[in-house]
Structure 1
Amino acid sequence: MTITAADLVVPYITAREGEEADSLLNLNVRIGPDRRPRLGYRDEAGPDRDLRSVLWARYSMSLGFAGQPTGTRGGGWCTRLRSKGHVALLATRFPLYGVIGTPYQYTADGIQPLAASDAPLPYNHPQIGWFVASQLVRELRDYEVVSLDDLVPAA
């Protein structure tokens, strides 16, 4: 069976009220470890990339008492999960697949965002260096549908 991006249900996390994305002006072109040009932040630090060197979107965050985020959740629940219900899965094999985010290109006018898609981009995609990730995607290979009522809370 072939599964397309349209078949996937990918829950998502939205920004909290007051959180803002970093400016496009903070992006630049740099040479990666493979000697190919890729996106980067002007003041890039280690936590800006994951272990596979993918650049992640930055968002501001307001922390309140005890280091907890402030503001209300933006966007609410994933519309598809809310309308279709939800299911609990106990996954035993769930390797990393790729990311969801925004692709960019370098033009005569500088770095420009391309139309974003909800389709996951695999980690091995040749254009991953021109992508700013906002969501991590795992492939669920082995799982069991479970009832939350049957699960025992961790001690």
Structure 2
Amino acid sequence: MSASTASAANPATSRLVPYITSRAGEHPDLLLSLRIQRGPDGHLQLGYWDELTEDRDLRGVLWGRCSQTIGADGLPTGRPRWRMVHPSRQRECMQQLRCQVCAHSARTRHGVIFLAGPGEARPQEAVVRTAQPPVCPRHARTAAQQCPHLGGRPTVFLVQSAPLYGVIGTPYQYSNGGLQALSAADDEALPYGHPNLRWHLASQMVRRLRAYTITTLDDLPDP
């Protein structure tokens, strides 16, 4: 994957379109594709009628399917749907610690850069969690300027340890009326291992920032 093409600008706005941004023509799968099945432990859980290995992450959590508009270069195409994140691409970048803008590795010899918007992450708290994939040094400033939730003045974390924490998603229940989606608290993440995850359809992966320093965009070290 080429960094120069992965971050191609949108001709209509001249804004850089992050790799994780949803595009026009990308649609979630239908509720009818879901079913109740027995998991490896024998307990009932949410699943797909034609479930594939890639429908679940490394911890066995089911993920919402969403179509992708991919060009000949293997990269997303189409009008960006700003503020909307594609679940599969978010999962890819978060799981593999890839830059959310260009999809290349975000690892540097000093750590991994995570950006948080106002009120999104509080460094003074004992636990800092984020659903925002990291950024590479090349695109850190661009992401800060163009991402609406960062507001141009993000908290910059230079992270040495960021283990996977859990997922944000939609809970489901099964009743006489069949499967039904339930309302969930906004951006409330369930940790891996939580028993309710068997009834969740994940849409965002979350990491816990465990060892980090707070810095600024101007003070980020060279890669």
Describe the superposition over 1:35-88 as per-residue Cα deviations: whole angstroms up to 9, x where unpaired: 100000111010000111100111101111311111132133664422x72132
The yes-or-no answer on 1:56 pairing with 2:63 is yes
Please name the residue that 2:175 is paired with.
107
1:2-21 equivalent positions in 2, closer than 5 A: 14-21=21-28
Q: What is the aligned residue count?
A: 140
Shift of 1:16: 1.7
1:111-130 equivalent positions in 2, closer than 5 A: 111-117=179-185, 118-130=187-199
CA distance in 1, matches of 2:184, 2:80: 22
Please name the residue that 2:202 is paired with.
133
Q: Percent identity?
A: 49
Three-state SS of the structure 1 residue aligned to 2:32 is helix
Q: What is the TM-score normalised by the length of structure 2?
A: 0.58
CA distance in 2, matches of 1:20, 1:116: 21
Higher relative contact order (CA 8 A, sep 6+): 1
Unaligned stretches of 5+ in structure 1?
1-12
Shift of 1:89: 1.5
CA distance in 2, matches of 1:106, 1:79: 37
Name the aligned partner's letter for residue 145 of structure 1.
I
Q: What is the TM-score normalised by the length of structure 1?
A: 0.82
Unaligned stretches of 5+ in structure 2?
1-19, 84-145
Please name the residue that 2:159 is paired with.
91
CA distance in 1, matches of 2:147, 2:180: 28
Shift of 1:135: 0.4
Shift of 1:14: 4.8
Please name the residue that 1:144 is paired with.
213
Name the aligned partner's letter for residue 34 of structure 1.
D
Name the aligned partner's letter for residue 73 of structure 2.
A
CA distance in 1, matches of 2:62, 2:165: 15
Name the aligned partner's letter for residue 141 of structure 1.
R
Please name the residue that 1:27 is paired with.
34
